[in-house]
Amino acid sequence: MKKNFFDLTPKPLPSVGRGAAGKGMILGTVLLLLAIAGCGAKPTAPAHTNPADPENPDYQSPGVVMTGGPAEGSTVTNNDVSFTWSGTGSAALYSYSLDNPLDWSGWSADTVKSYINLSEGLHTFRVRAADAGGYQGDTVTAARSFTVNQINNTLLLYPPSVSVPVGDTAEFWCELEDMATPVAGVSVNFYTNSYWLLDTARVSADTGYGWKLNGGTPVGPFISQAYSNYFLHLDVGVAGGTPAGVSGTGRIFKIRLAGLSAGSGYFYISSMTVRDTLNNNITVTNNYGSVSYTFTSGKEGGK
């Protein structure tokens, strides 16, 4: 008879003595069973002790406060300015922008930024913070808006930069600033380098600001414009009344650029003539007659 190597007949367990060896075997078995049972237990989560961990309930988000530079809403007569700031919470890195809220610098530990030869008109400086790992938290931004007014007899465009979705309109103001001689008429040629981004370019007179407040008559009812691919020509003048010209500071017209496709370009004064009430030429500084525009995707193809 062949021996069955796979005999499954139950066999009695070997007896365990009551001596030291038997007790040790029983204790070892109990410990083994406890160890096996403990393998499925969930370990206790460690306490949040890393102060830089955003999941830590004691974590402080990065923030930033301005500590130096032109005050909010101020006018400065020097076009070289500097800004300083300090971080709060877990702040360790900073990024900043001037005028264009979409154009940010790279991240660094610097807490000072200087600008030279800023254009006349309104500017806005912004700075934001992140922790050492680049986490921005609620992205708190500190900002200062200020005006540079250094040069008299100036024709300028502002704001320096505008960014809107395609289908919306970028708007710029043209302003005569600190005019000592009364102005009766202005003739300006504008140039744009990216006309294919534009749906339309329109000009409207301003009759509700500056000039009336300065005692002059409104500028604008006599306004003409001609727009080609690259150029916009504009003539604007005083529509009669007393006095026959306007002086001081005031907006004279608004330019509206409607975006057709996404991209960036610039728009600047290529030439201009300013006349007094006797039709004599007035020398006007135009070092800062340039602005930039950006149309972002979002309403592409819209009119």
Contacts of 197 (CB under 8 A, 6+ apart): 259, 260, 261, 262, 263, 264, 265, 293, 295
Q: 170: exposed, middle or buried (C-beta count within 10 Å: 0-12, 13-18, 19+)?
A: buried
Confidence of residue 64 (pLDDT cuts 50, 70, 90): very high
- The answer to whether residue 16 sits within a structural domain is no
Predicted pLDDT of residue 38: 54
Assigned domain for 301 exists: no
The predicted structure's pLDDT at residue 33 = 54
- Structure token pair of residue 125: 């400086």
Tell me whether residue 39 is in a domain: no
What tens digit of pLDDT does each residue of 91-119 get?
A: 999 999 998 888 899 999 999 999 988 87
Say yes or no: 94 and 208 in one domain: no
| Residues linked to residue 155 through DSSP beta bridges, in sequence order | 176
Q: Is residue 54 part of a domain?
A: no
For residue 220, name the pLDDT band (cuts at 50, 70, 90): very low
Confidence grade of residue 145 (pLDDT, cut at 50, 70, 90): very high
**Which of 148, 173, 189 lies at the terminal end of a domain, its last residue?**
148
Which of 148, 181, 203 corresponds to the end of one domain?
148
Report the chain's mean pLDDT, rounded to a whole number. Answer: 75
Q: Does the reported pTM lie above 0.75?
A: no
In terms of pLDDT, which residue wins out, 298 or 111?
Answer: 111
- Whether residue 122 sits in one domain with residue 67: yes
* Whole-angstrom distance, CA of residue 198 vs CA of residue 265: 10
Quickly state the pLDDT bin for 17 (edges 50, 70, 90).
low
97 in the same domain as 77: yes
Domain boundary among 125, 148, 171: 148
Same domain, 189 and 283: yes
CATH number of the CATH domain containing 159? 2.60.40.680
Q: How many domains does the chain have?
A: 2
Asked if residue 23 is part of any domain, the answer here is no
Note whether 130 and 251 are same-domain residues.
Answer: no
CATH of the domain at 136: 2.60.40.10
pLDDT at 299: 47
176 and 254 belong to one structural domain = yes
Shared domain check, 160 and 111? no
Pairing of strands 141-148, 74-76: parallel
pLDDT at 283: 87
236 lies in the same domain as 204: yes
The span from the CA of 245 to the CA of 234, in Å, is 18
Are 86 and 196 in a shared domain? Answer: no
Residues 172 and 280 in one domain: yes
Residues 196 and 284 in one domain: yes
Rg (CA), the chain: 37
- How far apart, in whole angstroms, are the C-alpha atoms of residue 218 and residue 65? 42
The residue among 179 and 229 whose pLDDT is bigger is: 179
Token look-up 């710029």 returns: 172
Range of the domain at 175: 154-296
Distances (CA, A) of 171 to 29, 121, 198, 256, 303: 84, 15, 13, 5, 16
42 phi/psi in degrees, rounded to 5: -80, 125
